[in-house]
């Protein structure tokens, strides 16, 4: 048996596109408890491919919509493309994002990337929240790290860095 996992995107204009996220094959004659159903590795690959596809398509649409100058309505010229990495709960998405020059009417900034409106960092808020929650749930006192770090700032970076440093030092001490 073979299962093809296919995702279909229907754009706002009604245009449809499909992508194969993965294929799962099982021989009916060799079914065992180990190969029954979808295993963790297969599901991770499918979820990661879905995340990759959705993020890239969303950001492509976002960039296309923002390319039009708000003052004169003309398309801004592309200056170049930059590579960005976005860490999500479902894996890392590698992006190639445009930067636009200012329009001929000279409104706006010299060089501008519409991705900066959406991505303030390289980690999604969902992943950052899970990282902070994981660190908070660790019992620092019983691990020999002293008291728990202070409450996190709005993005949690300092809190996570302090907590990971503490845990890293404790692991080094235990490894001795």
Residue 45: pLDDT above 60? yes
Residue 52: pLDDT above 50? yes
The whole-model pTM stands at 0.71
**Regarding predicted confidence, which is higher, 28 or 40?**
40
| For residues 20-40, average pLDDT | 88
The number of residues making up the chain comes to 176
State pLDDT tens for residues 75-111. Answer: 999 999 999 999 999 999 999 999 998 887 776 668 8
Closest among 168, 125, 122 to 144, alpha carbons compared:
168
**Cross-strand pairs, 83:** 96
**Regarding predicted confidence, which is higher, 159 or 124?**
124
Q: Where in the chain are the domains?
A: 2-30+37-122, 128-175
The helix/strand/coil state of 21 is strand
CA distances from 164 to 34, 43, 130 (A): 36, 29, 14
Residue 164: pLDDT above 80? no
Q: How far apart are the C-alpha atoms of 125 and 123, rounded to whole Å?
A: 6
**Across 109-113, 140-144, 158-162, least confident range:** 140-144
């Amino acid at each position: 048996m073979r299962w093809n996992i296919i995702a279909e995107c229907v754009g706002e204009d009604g245009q449809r596109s499909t992508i194969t996220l993965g294929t799962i094959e099982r021989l009916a004659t060799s079914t065992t408890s180990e190969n029954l159903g979808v295993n963790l590795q297969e599901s991770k690959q499918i979820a990661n491919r879905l995340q990759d596809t959705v993020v890239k398509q969303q950001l492509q649409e976002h960039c296309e919509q923002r390319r039009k100058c708000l003052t004169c309505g003309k398309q801004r010229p592309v200056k170049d493309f930059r590579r960005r990495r976005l860490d999500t709960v479902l894996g890392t998405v590698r992006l190639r994002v445009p930067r636009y020059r200012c329009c001929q009417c000279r409104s706006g900034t010299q060089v501008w990337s519409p991705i900066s409106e959406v991505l303030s960092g390289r980690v999604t808020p969902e992943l950052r929240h899970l990282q902070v929650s994981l660190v908070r749930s660790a019992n620092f006192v019983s691990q020999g790290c002293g008291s728990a770090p202070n409450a996190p700032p709005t993005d949690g970076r300092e809190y996570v860095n302090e907590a990971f440093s503490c845990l890293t030092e404790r692991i080094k001490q235990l490894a001795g």
